[in-house]
Structure 1
Amino acid sequence: MKHLISIILFIGIIFIAGCGQSNENKGTNKDNNADLTPVKFALDWTPNTNHTGIYVAKEKGYFKEQGLDVEILLPGEVRVNQLLAAEKADFGISYQEGLTQARSEGLPLVSIAAVLQHNTAGYASPKEKGITSPKDFEGKKFGAYGSDLEKAMMTTLMANDNANVDEVDFITTGDADFFVAVERDVDFSLVYYGWTGIEAELRGVDLNMVYLADFSDKLDFYTPIIATSEEMISADPELVKAFTHATVKGYEFAIEHPEEAAQILINAVPDLDPDLVKRSQDWLSPRYQDDAEQFGIQEQDRWQKFADFLLENKIIDEAVDVDQAFTNEFLPDK
């Protein structure tokens, strides 16, 4: 009986010690999580393959390796540039055109990496419309968002092709579905091939594409980009560096492993069409870095040309110091 009691007491002591160790481990894990710096990252649009590197960096633990706990904010009524300027987000997806305009209006935003090295936007139209060059825009209906920049870009392309933009009928369609719009209301619209073009392939819709960058080097601007604020850079440059390094690692993974990266995005956002994500990722992955020496790098010349274009076309009223608008300093050394 004494032996039995001794055994029970011994087992009890081991159990209590084990629980204590378990609780201690839980406490350590909790403390480790608490040590992570919270970061808010704002998306510009519904999650898509422009954003894959962010989701990869989160899923693969690249942000945690840098001591960051990144929360991805879905788009709402307030746009990314305004969220960054108001310090409601720390980083976000923006565009060179939007960021340049924001700086001209006094919002001190900075691009820290290019998501795509070259502009993949172009004028898309069903093949039967016969639109293969800017000259073919004449006499056609264009589905527009309604911005002055749209007309300025089209004017430049058409002038280079000895065509007249006044012969184009601008129809404001806003965010209307491209496929519905070209069936019912317009002949062509501006899209990113990496998403809408790939969707067209899946739908069996043959498109003609007139890419902006093919007809004017002024319009080979960086879109999209990853942006932050001057305040963030000034207040915590080490955090900016940590975030950028993890993000670059995420996109480099997507470049090398498009299939796995696509699945990470699909798992994170189950509402997305898996076939569209996979096909889009295959198309986009080699275009993240493209011909650049490393992912994310930006050139002063391209920022200057586009800023000059905006000023010449009165899209902005004040010249922008492009050296303040972007930086490569937070990219990893290669």
Structure 2
Amino acid sequence: MTSMQRRVGGVCLALLLALSVGAPLLADRPDADQVDATALEAASRIASGWTTLKGGPGVDTPGFPADAPVAPSLILRAPEPIAPPPVRELSLVLDWYLSPQHAALIVARERGDFDRQGLKVSISAPADPSVPTKLVAASRADLALGRQLQLHRQIDEGLPLIRVATLVGTPLNSLVVREGNGIANLTDLSGKTIGYATRDDIQPTLSIMLAHHGLALDDVTLEGLDFTLAPALVEGRVDAVIGGMRHVMPYQLREEGVVAHSFMVEDHGLPRYDELILMANRDHLNGQRDDIRRLVAALEDATHWIINHPNKAWELVTRSEPGLDTAANRQAWPEILRRLSLRPATLDARHYLNFQAFLHDQGLITKRQPIERLAVDLSAP
């Protein structure tokens, strides 16, 4: 670089700074008399944006050879606006009607966690609790909530499901009986009527619990109730229900004047499992992986905020879903907080394979699957 080029470069920089921050003009500098007039003129032309350092091919600008590289003109204008990234849409079907166990979904929606991930998530409740995973398998919904039990059974039946996240990592299911109807332990269920919501509540849950105490399904009368478990127990239409959420149903029954007792499924022969998991269509996972990863990241952010701000979280949940603001749910709120998965994407592969082995040994599924056909850890590198 020649001395002239260095002088011009310095002058250009000074002029640009003066234009942008109101610095004194070069003429005000004490060393202004040292600035070469020719260099100042060239620099001024650059800053004004209407010329280049050379007049064109074959034309010499003083101090520059005719074949010097052309410097681009300086254009002073606002930058082009950056277009926002496209919003991705996902549909999610709940496992049940909306309840406190769905808090992470509600909070992520209301706090804008989904929006920050570039997602628009539609959440719907099913008319039939057996439908959500079937909608995902049929490509009529992107995601569905359900239980780990359900995942193993339906994969064994050929449905292309895969676990992508865990919202509640411990069982919530229980067998609930009315106090005072002569059922002190599970052996007293012989000859009684038991209501249920889904097929998985009967087989394997109830069948294993009964077998643990020397009974079989033939020893009881079964009645399908769908979403009306608590009312049926209050009205006395059944003696017990299987599928009652242990953190809510006892409080619901107490509001109706019914004292109840819960038998935890894992205390009566059933291994621990993930109560509430998010399932996707395995055949479509590669194309949806990034979108689902973003959704799970939003759920993790929402869950940590809930744990850190339980009172604010409850206010947000009930303000957005007033139907959840009941005495039973208020009492259940601290219990559900203890069960929320802080790292929903993380997969315990051994846990899934061991539970699958249990179901296979019980004759409840016909084939063992490799872990990659059961579940995926979207947080893995």
TM tier, smaller:
0.7 to 0.9
The one-letter code sitting in structure 2 at the alignment partner of 1:64 is D
C-alpha contact (below 8 Å) 2:149/2:200 kept by paired residues:
no
C-alpha contact (below 8 Å) 2:146/2:276 kept by paired residues:
yes
* Alpha-carbon distance, 1:119 to partner: 0.4
Please name the residue that 1:319 is paired with.
368
Number of residues paired by the alignment? Answer: 298
Summarize the alignment of residues 184-199 of structure 1 with structure 2, pairs less than 5 Å apart. 184-190=236-242, 191-199=244-252
Q: Which runs of 5 or more structure 2 residues have no equivalent in the other structure?
A: 1-80
Q: Which runs of 5 or more structure 1 residues have no equivalent in the other structure?
A: 1-27
Please name the residue that 1:8 is paired with.
none
Please name the residue that 1:303 is paired with.
352
- Which of 265, 269, 273 pairs up with 1:212? 265
CA offset digits 1:104-131 (Å, max 9, x no partner): 1222211122221210211101121343
C-alpha contact (below 8 Å) 1:116/1:287 kept by paired residues:
yes
C-alpha contact (below 8 Å) 1:240/1:330 kept by paired residues:
no
Structure with the larger RCO, 1 or 2 (CA within 8 Å, 6+ apart): 1
**Higher Cα radius of gyration:** 2
Write the distance in 2 (CA, Å) between the matches of 1:113 and 1:132: 37
CA offset digits 1:247-292 (Å, max 9, x no partner): 1222222233333223323233333343333222222111123xxx
Change (3 A) 1:241 1:89: same
The answer to whether 1:172 aligns with 2:223 is yes
CA offset digits 1:40-93 (Å, max 9, x no partner): 122122111121101101111111111112121232458221222232222221
The answer to whether 1:258 aligns with 2:307 is no
Change (3 A) 1:322 1:188: farther
Write the distance in 2 (CA, Å) between the matches of 1:146 and 1:112: 22
The one-letter code sitting in structure 2 at the alignment partner of 1:324 is R
Secondary structure of 2:338's aligned partner? helix
Please name the residue that 2:99 is paired with.
48
Summarize the alignment of residues 217-228 of structure 1 with structure 2, pairs less than 5 Å apart. 217-218=270-271, 220-228=272-280
Secondary structure of 2:323's aligned partner? coil
The one-letter code sitting in structure 2 at the alignment partner of 1:274 is T
Write the distance in 2 (CA, Å) between the matches of 1:36 and 1:148: 37
Report % sequence identity: 19
TM score, norm. by length of structure 2: 0.69
TM score, norm. by length of structure 1: 0.78
The answer to whether 1:63 aligns with 2:114 is yes
C-alpha contact (below 8 Å) 2:299/2:344 kept by paired residues:
no
* Alpha-carbon distance, 1:307 to partner: 2.2
**Aligned alpha-carbon RMSD (Å):** 2.8
* Alpha-carbon distance, 1:294 to partner: 4.0
The one-letter code sitting in structure 2 at the alignment partner of 1:208 is H
C-alpha contact (below 8 Å) 1:142/1:168 kept by paired residues:
no
The answer to whether 1:96 aligns with 2:148 is yes
Please name the residue that 2:183 is paired with.
131
CA offset digits 1:183-230 (Å, max 9, x no partner): 422211111112322312433432111101122352x22121111122
* Alpha-carbon distance, 1:160 to partner: 3.0
Secondary structure of 1:101's aligned partner? helix
Please name the residue that 2:379 is paired with.
330
C-alpha contact (below 8 Å) 1:232/1:240 kept by paired residues:
no
* Alpha-carbon distance, 1:246 to partner: 0.4
Name which of structure 1's ranges 265-274 and 64-73 shifts more when overlaid on structure 2: 265-274
The one-letter code sitting in structure 1 at the alignment partner of 2:163 is S
Change (3 A) 1:179 1:169: same
C-alpha contact (below 8 Å) 1:143/1:173 kept by paired residues:
yes
* Alpha-carbon distance, 1:143 to partner: 1.8
Secondary structure of 2:140's aligned partner? coil
Please name the residue that 2:196 is paired with.
144
C-alpha contact (below 8 Å) 2:172/2:246 kept by paired residues:
yes
